[in-house]
Structure 1
Amino acid sequence: MAEKAIDIHKLESIFDNMVNMMDQSKNDIFTISEQSRQNYDEMRKELVIIKEDISRVITEGDYLEDMTRHSRRRLADVSKNFLNYSEEEVRQAYEVANDLLVRLSINRMEEKQLRVRRDELERRIAALLETIEKADHLVNQVTTVITYLTSDLKKVGEALETARQKQEFAIQIIQAQEDERKRLSRDIHDGPAQMLANVLLRSGLIEKTFVEKGPTSALSELTQLKEMVRNALYEVRRIIYDLRPMALDDLGLIPTLRKYLATVMEYEKGTIIHFMNNGSERRFESNIEVAIFRLVQESVNNALKHGNSRDVWVKIEWLRDTMNIVIKDNGQGFDQSETKEKSFGIIGMRERIELLKGEMKIMSAAGNGTTVLFRIPLEDDIIVE
């Protein structure tokens, strides 16, 4: 049974709804937190006032208690020496003592009420503070979950898109391999195979000429045969070179590139390739040098085949820990915002540069040529002493 294709847009819609609901819940929690914080601030202010009132009431109570003790002593003295005081003085002593006692009682009651209110405020403030902390913690957790969800959704979408691109890339690679086999078959058939067939015919002709016309005529035919064999050998070497430049193993990257670019100019009449190499060249492992060679080869081929360029600049710069490669042409360029149907060449270069842990940047515009920049880190494990 064929598996159903994953609907990325439907997944995105489900995730978006879930994220929106969580985001709304986060906002509600945040509102509760802010209201609690506002109540917390108001209660803190009231608590400060309550504590100031308690301090004032305690001070007044101490004063009233002291005055009450003094009035009691006065009243006791008046009561003991009743005959020595006038009626007015006795009445005044009783009134003062009673008034102070009433005021002290009211003071003690007010202090008690203030202390009860203070304790209540402190309990509510502690509860509000705990609520605020929990709300803030919950907001942070929800924010973290939303962040993970949105980032994971993006990664899932990117992963699915990458998988789709790689599947298309694999199909295009198979097609490219088949096209390459056809090209090699055609090159061998039209080149070395035809030449070897002619060599076989010429060898028979030489034998016949020698018998019928003598050695002089046969020698002339033999000279032409040697030229034909030389051309066939040249074609065979060219085909082998296109498959894998063996000079890489013996000479290294830079000499092989020089030779390759010179060969390209021989075949592409009217094309000039300007090659510059700045810095101290280093040797890499074989597979690394092949990968870098293919990057330059693909870029140059794109400039000639797709860009219709007549001038191409290839510059290699060796820095202490980086190798920079620039391939620039004066061709027709292209609009980078448009998706190319046969852009697997660029995808292939990106695959190679990722294996080299490097970076690739393409700058192009219609009618203004193309510049390709590769930055390759020169790590110790790829350099051969």
Structure 2
Amino acid sequence: MFSNDKLDIASLDVIFNRMLETITSSKNDIFIISEQSRRSFEDMEKELEIVRQEIGLIINEADHLEAKSQLSKQRLVQVSKAFDNYSEEQVRTAYEIANDIQIKLLLAREKERQLRSKRDDLERRMKALYETIERADHIVNQVNVVINYLTSDLKNVGLALEQAKIKQDFGIRIIAAQEEERKRLSREIHDGPAQMMANVLMRSGLIERTSREKGMDAAIQELAELKVTVRNALSEVRRIIYDLRPMALDDLGIVPTLKKYLSTVMEYNSGVMIHFQSIGKEQRISSNHEVAIFRLVQECVTNALKHGQPKEISVKLEWLYNDINIVVKDDGKGFDEENVKEQSFGIIGMKERIDLLEGQMQIHSVVGKGTIVIFKIPFPDVEE
């Protein structure tokens, strides 16, 4: 536990490095499990293709035997009706042929049943294995996010605590804010690139089969759709990388950073016009407040683009004496406040961030008429 005395940074570094080594080792173990599962999945996929081909062959064989069985039965009926016209050898041969064909038919049907059962079992196992691969990839992505934070932001926390000698509750708030960012990034990676790449993995395996079963035109169409998915995943990864921490925020402040961010968003979302206004005397405020303001605007704009399909978005900052008003408005689809407000993880995250800053938040939305989000945030003394 921490006390009011000077922190032992060396001990903190030892704990930090051990924790980082443990997390890295766990990530490597999970990655090995994921790769082994992936190889098993590919092997089962090949085996499944062979089983399906064998099912097709045995069905054809059974159909052929069924036809021969019908002919042999007709021969038996013919022999039975004119028993005296055939020799004993001919009668015995007719019965033996019919019996032999019937046995082969039964064996073929039994083999078909076994192959179908094997196919169904392979499909069930592949589904479970694919879910394991997805979970493993998701966990690896989450661990990578944690490691990135541990190797960057958290290493500076100890030094910041020593230099500023801040109170313990402030440290708790920093950790809480970082945990919230990790949740947001994990959610975005899972819902965005991870899902897209999983889709790419599955669809790439289908292209070869499509070319065999439906021809090259269908396969080319699948490739075109796959290319769109990969392009979307690449854009999403680039956006997430930029979202981690805009460097301009520390160097230039909140207003120039928001201008650059909104301009970039507009470039990546053709057909959407984004307006930005800063009213009043702009000033530099604490880094934590600037990061919080940036994240709040970012969340609002991202939600509008993802769910609202707007044509215009406006972002306005109003600088007052000891607080700042932020208004984000869009002309998108809007939503039913009663049904969404209490369940949306994004709205809950914004509310928690506002609470940490001791600010206020209002959301007004009407289905078909857009959404407006208003934040009022008090800020501490201006940094020198």
Q: Above 0.5 in TM-score?
A: no
TM-score, length of structure 1 as denominator length: 0.41
TM-score, length of structure 2 as denominator length: 0.41
